[in-house]
Amino acid sequence: MDSDLKSLKIDRGKRARRSDSWATRWILAGIAIILLLGAGRYVYGMLNQEREVDSIRVAAPQSGATGDSVVLNATGYIMAAHKIQVASKVLGRVAWIGVEKGDKVREGQVIVRLEDDEYRAQLQQYKGRLASLTARLAELQAGSRPEEVERSAADVQEAEANVTNAKQSLDRAEPLVRDGVQARSVLDDARARFDRESARLRAVRKQHELVRIGPRREQIDAMRGQLEEVKGEVAFYETQLANTLIKAPVSGTILERVVEKGEFVTTNFVGERGAKGYVASLANLNDLRAELDINQNDFAKLKRDHKAVITTDAYPDRKYDGVIDEISPEANRQKATVQVKVKILNPDEFLRPEMNSSVAFIESGKPSSSGGPVAPLIHVPVTAVRDDAVFLIANGKVVKRTVKVDRSTPQGLRISSGLNGGEDLITNPPSDLREGDRVRKKQG
């Protein structure tokens, strides 16, 4: 048994060789995985690599219907025909604001209200004066009351009695003074009393006559004048109070709101950080113009009422009929241009003031009366069309679009349908280019 036990032992060299073999396998597997991931990433990158391509922006259509010809293309801006800055007629602090930018308002709608406590107090004060003067004028026009006439007559009778009594006293005093019975002073007092009562009688009679006749015409006229003056003050402060409600002068859309609650509004000229000179601006967006500066060399091609087709950079697929509505009577010397305004006949909610616009002036034919898009006639390079289709760039990817070629012209192939203008067109697509491929515009 001892010999058998001695023969049993562990071969440590073999175990070490097995461990080295497993470690090598794991290392090789890791390297293989890394290589596969790298190869997959490379292949994915190659498949999704952006390709540089030559491209151009498709120009706006050059006419509105078959047979039309364009005499001039120009660019400008969409403008509101009448932009109104709504100002306040009175001074005051903003108490309430009822509109935000973009809100539609109707004529006469209150958009801002100012604090009106002071105007109400002043109006109440003048209304009180008006009531007082009205009552005074009515009193003058009515004349004296019967009671006043009777009292005045009684005063006359009393004065007459006093005169009679004074005359009797004077008549008694004269012989007594002449006979030396009474002193001279008694006669003087009696004569003075008689004269005083006689003067009072004359005054009372005149006063009675005035009471009986009533107020003079001049007094009534003067009171009427004061009454009219106060009526004017009342009307003025009623107007001032009404003006604390700032209303929309026309129906339209709020383009800008420049005040906040608590800010002060004035009617005078103000600086940038002072009180506000107006509260909001609005315009009727159903009355729009395309404002253009036409080079003087091209100005002779246009005339008043010239028809046109208008497009915008924001919505190149939407076309709008237009007609020249205004031509400036003078040119701009510095720019060598003449300003022309084209009235948009069929505006919609997609048009906004200050948008870029492209205008094609049409020599003949009529624009669409239905208000819808007109049939575009667009020219593209010959190399851009392949198998009656073109390739466009949209969000960095290729989009294939079928087009209809009308005919070949010196400007290139004339496209009658399939393009609207404003698209990014690949001018020389590679033969292996497919829809959905990632591309980018070639710089320079």
Nearest to 346 by CA among 326, 372, 327: 372
Complete DSSP assignment for 145-179:
-HHHHHHHHHHHHHHHHHHHHHHHHHHHHHHHHHT
Exposed, middle or buried, 444 (CB in 10 Å: 0-12/13-18/19+)?
exposed
What's the sign of the alpha-carbon dihedral 164, 170, 172, 175? negative
CATH of domain 122-238: 1.10.287.470
122-238: same fold as 51-58+376-441?
Answer: no
| Range 51-58+376-441: architecture per CATH | Beta Barrel (2.40)
Count Cα atoms within 13 angstroms, Cβ side, for 58. 27
Residues making up the chain, counted from first to last: 444
Say what the alpha-carbon torsion angle 266, 267, 272, 276 is, to the nearest 10 degrees.
Answer: 40
Q: Which residue is associated with the tokens 């009797």?
A: 168
Q: Are 233 and 126 in contact (CB under 8 A)?
A: yes
Which fold would CATH assign to domain 83-115+244-283? OB fold (Dihydrolipoamide Acetyltransferase, E2P) (2.40.50)
Per-residue pLDDT of the chain (444 residues; tens, 9 = 90+): 566 555 555 555 555 555 566 677 778 877 888 888 777 666 555 555 678 888 888 775 544 444 457 788 888 999 998 889 999 999 999 999 999 999 999 999 999 999 999 999 999 999 999 999 999 888 887 776 777 767 887 888 888 888 888 888 888 888 888 877 788 888 888 889 888 988 988 888 888 777 776 677 788 888 889 999 999 999 999 999 999 999 999 999 999 999 999 999 988 766 556 677 889 999 999 899 999 999 888 888 898 889 999 988 888 778 899 999 999 999 998 888 999 999 999 899 899 899 998 898 987 544 443 344 444 567 788 888 988 899 988 878 888 888 888 777 767 787 877 777 667 889 888 888 888 888 888 875
Q: Are 379 and 413 in contact (CB under 8 A)?
A: yes
Residue 410: phi and psi, rounded to 5, are -60, -25
DSSP code, position 443:
P
Beta strand ranges found along 258-347 (DSSP E): 264-265, 280-283, 288-295, 307-312, 320-327, 337-344
Complete DSSP assignment for 95-142:
EEE---TT-EE-TT-EEEEE--HHHHHHHHHHHHHHHHHHHHHHHHHH
Q: Is the pTM of this model over 0.85?
A: no
Q: How far apart are CA 89 and CA 244, in angstroms?
A: 8
Nearest to 69 by CA among 396, 294, 362: 362
Superfamily of domain 70-81+287-362: Efflux pump adaptor protein, beta barrel domain (2.40.30.170)
Name the residue ranges covered by the structural domains of the chain: 51-58+376-441, 70-81+287-362, 83-115+244-283, 122-238
DSSP code, position 438:
B
